[in-house]
């Protein structure tokens, strides 16, 4: 929503920034760090606290995988990110990224042709000189005893992958941004944008403050299309179930006997993590169709039906977990674009405004390169990975391109 210049003098005017970032999730904090390193004056608004408990980026773990089926661009992007994750572990003196490996389980022998995501990922890793291992049922039984080898006759294991403690990553980057000179304004929710002569010159917050900026970068995740209705036709906000279990046999669910895994994901959506080093829980979630939700009006709950389907999956695939207690559930929101690529571009009709959102359930792993991508685009330049994430028109015929995603046929 846009308001004209003459209204500004009635409210409390805050500082002027070169770049004002709306939203302190992974898109916002990585963009802030990149812009600060380019010597800009940066402010960040978020209803807070940062990391925000309802933000998609705020979680105990997110998958970091190069496995993207036939899509080599995402594979190469994550290959670069994995070096970045190691560098952050070094820089922050903390293991925020755990390289536990990534196990793709197949319900059918690959020759049956039903596991294209897994087969193409494996081929592309080999082509790029990585060393994923192909496992038959016996090798699976020996190496990863928690899984039911009668259900998964074949699997692929890639040691160069793992998970990131995303909530702690956002906190570390926010603290780093402050060290670099950022002003983070918690308790500030962007409500509307000041526009003058076809240019966005600042943000009005719901709390009654006004922030002036040379350029505004909106990284509001699932709220983004509600700030710009012109994005609505290209995006959907979908909620996805997450479960934490307390394993009664924790030794079975710790690396190296257990790793980040996908269980025939493109046909079921199921994936999960080894027992968490801090929380001591096994997190399992579903990367599927999800339920369309409004980020503020609708409840974000996991239903009895979700739990029923989850228990069914466990009984079949991970019998040792089937009766263990669920100690936490959450329905977390994706800012889905209809094609599954991100949305990182300057507004086509309004100067002084960039939108960086559309994580579509798979952007967290890209954190080490996201910031530079957003900063370069906001400066008016390009980035080697930015082309497919530009402002575009999508239709109801547009197909979801992310191959791991369990989707409507």
Interface ranges with ligand FAD (CB under 6 A): 22-28, 45-47, 52, 55-57, 62-63, 189-190, 219-223, 240, 242, 285, 332-335, 357, 359, 361-365
Picking from 364, 356, 313, the residue whose alpha carbon sits closest to that of residue 162 is 364
Please identify which residue in the block is written with the tokens 């197949």: 106
Minimal distance in Å, beta carbon 183 to ligand FAD? 14
Phi, then psi, of 50 in degrees rounded to 5: -100, 120
Kindly report the CA angle at 386 between 383 and 388, in degrees rounded to 5?
150
Minimal distance in Å, beta carbon 92 to ligand FAD? 18
Report the chain's terminal Cα–Cα distance, integer Å.
Answer: 36
Minimal distance in Å, beta carbon 22 to ligand FAD? 5
Minimal distance in Å, beta carbon 138 to ligand FAD? 29
Nearer to ligand FAD, 52 or 405 (CB): 52
Nearer to ligand FAD, 182 or 220 (CB): 220
Minimal distance in Å, beta carbon 335 to ligand FAD? 6
Nearer to ligand FAD, 189 or 201 (CB): 189
Minimal distance in Å, beta carbon 14 to ligand FAD? 14
Nearer to ligand FAD, 149 or 314 (CB): 314
Nearer to ligand FAD, 22 or 318 (CB): 22
Please identify which residue in the block is written with the tokens 């996201």: 370
Nearer to ligand FAD, 223 or 228 (CB): 223
Give dist(CA 79, CA 384) in Å, integer.
14
Minimal distance in Å, beta carbon 225 to ligand FAD? 11
Task: Compute the half-sphere exposure of residue 297: CA atoms within 13 Å on the CB side of its CA.
Answer: 5
Joined tokens for residue 368: 């080490």
Give dist(CA 398, CA 409) in Å, integer.
12
Minimal distance in Å, beta carbon 293 to ligand FAD? 11
Nearer to ligand FAD, 29 or 314 (CB): 29
Nearer to ligand FAD, 45 or 153 (CB): 45
Give dist(CA 385, CA 374) in Å, integer.
10
Nearer to ligand FAD, 45 or 172 (CB): 45
Give dist(CA 203, CA 3) in Å, integer.
10
Minimal distance in Å, beta carbon 156 to ligand FAD? 18
Nearer to ligand FAD, 30 or 124 (CB): 30
Minimal distance in Å, beta carbon 67 to ligand FAD? 12
Give dist(CA 55, CA 279) in Å, integer.
19
């Amino acid at each position: 929503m846009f308001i004209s210049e003459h209204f500004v003098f009635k409210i409390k005017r805050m500082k002027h920034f070169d770049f004002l970032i709306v939203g302190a999730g992974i898109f916002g904090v990585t963009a802030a760090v990149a812009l600060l390193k380019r010597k800009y004056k940066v402010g960040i608004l978020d209803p807070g606290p940062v990391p925000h408990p309802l933000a998609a980026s705020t979680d105990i773990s997110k998958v970091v995988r190069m496995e993207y089926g036939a899509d080599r661009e995402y594979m190469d992007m994550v290959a670069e990110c994995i070096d970045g994750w190691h560098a952050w572990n070094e820089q922050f003196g903390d293991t925020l990224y755990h390289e536990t490996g990534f196990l793709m389980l197949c319900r059918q022998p690959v020759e049956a042709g039903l596991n294209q995501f897994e087969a193409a990922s494996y081929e592309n890793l080999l082509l790029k000189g990585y060393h994923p291992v192909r496992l038959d049922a016996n090798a699976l039984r020996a190496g990863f005893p928690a899984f039911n080898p009668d259900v998964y006759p074949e699997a692929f294991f890639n040691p160069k992958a793992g998970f990131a403690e995303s909530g702690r990553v956002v906190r570390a980057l926010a603290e780093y941004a402050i060290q670099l000179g950022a002003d983070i304004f918690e308790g500030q929710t962007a409500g509307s944008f000041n526009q003058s002569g076809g240019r966005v010159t600042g943000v009005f917050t719901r709390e009654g403050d006004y922030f002036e900026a040379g350029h505004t970068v909106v990284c509001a995740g699932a709220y983004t299309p509600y700030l710009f209705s012109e994005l609505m036709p290209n995006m959907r906000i979908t909620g996805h179930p997450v479960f934490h279990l307390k394993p009664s046999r924790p030794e079975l669910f710790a690396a190296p006997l257990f790793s980040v895994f996908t269980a025939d994901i493109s046909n079921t959506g199921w994936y999960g993590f080894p027992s968490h080093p801090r929380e001591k829980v096994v997190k399992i979630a579903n990367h599927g169709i999800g339920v369309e939700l409004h980020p503020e009006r609708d409840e974000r709950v996991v239903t009895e039906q979700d739990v029923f389907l989850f228990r069914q999956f466990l009984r079949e695939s991970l019998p040792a977990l089937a009766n263990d207690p669920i100690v936490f559930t959450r329905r977390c929101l994706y800012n889905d674009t209809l094609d599954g690529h991100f949305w990182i571009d300057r507004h086509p009709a309004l100067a002084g405004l960039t939108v960086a959102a559309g994580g579509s359930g798979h952007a967290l792993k890209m954190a080490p390169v996201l910031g530079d991508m957003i900063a370069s685009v906001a400066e008016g330049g390009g980035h080697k990975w930015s082309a497919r994430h530009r402002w575009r028109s999508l239709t109801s015929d547009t197909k979801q391109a992310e191959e791991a995603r369990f989707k409507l046929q």
